[in-house]
Amino acid sequence: MHIVRYTDALALHFARINAAWIEAMFVLEDHDRHVLAHPREAIVDRGGVILFAATPDGTVVGTGALMPIAPGVYELTKMGVSAEARGSGAGAALLAALIDHARSLPAIDTLYLLTSRKCVAAIHLYERAGFVHDADTMARFGSAYARCDVAMRYPLDG
């Protein structure tokens, strides 16, 4: 897998991959629609990053983002892998690249994600990478999505 950074030409893949997994299990919420339609405005121009996993032939099979929420606070969000590439290692590669990028940010003190118990494979991936379930994160940020019933944070000091 190759990890590549966002360009406007890749925006359609960001929307395609995320809409597919969200709609397969949930419904697109207003916040989803806004971020997927305007990734540069919602994430990149605010100091965040969107990464993509691509096969050696350049086929984009996964994506994920770090979205600034407040000073020093980033949400790992909109991470998805196309159905045909699940199990290929694309998700693990993306997650590692996103964590590495988060660690390089000078003023980050909180990295969290929100998900659903329905996303069992994703939760296991996050746990293996070092994310921990966190009630405080759920209390602070969990209302962002109706589908959210799991909140996890990454121990940046570890």
Enclosing H/E stretch for 152: strand 150-154
Q: 75-111: per-residue pLDDT in tens?
A: 999 999 998 988 889 999 999 999 999 999 988 999 9
CA 13 to CA 32: how far, in whole Å? Answer: 14
Q: Are 75 and 39 in contact (CB under 8 A)?
A: no
pLDDT band at 146 (very low <50, low <70, confident <90, very high): confident
pLDDT band at 144 (very low <50, low <70, confident <90, very high): confident
Q: 85: how many CB neighbours lie within 10 A of its CB?
A: 18
Say what the pLDDT of residue 14 is: 97
**DSSP per-residue string spanning 81-136:** E-GGGTTTTHHHHHHHHHHHHHHH-TT--EEEEEE-TT-HHHHHHHHHHT-EE-HH
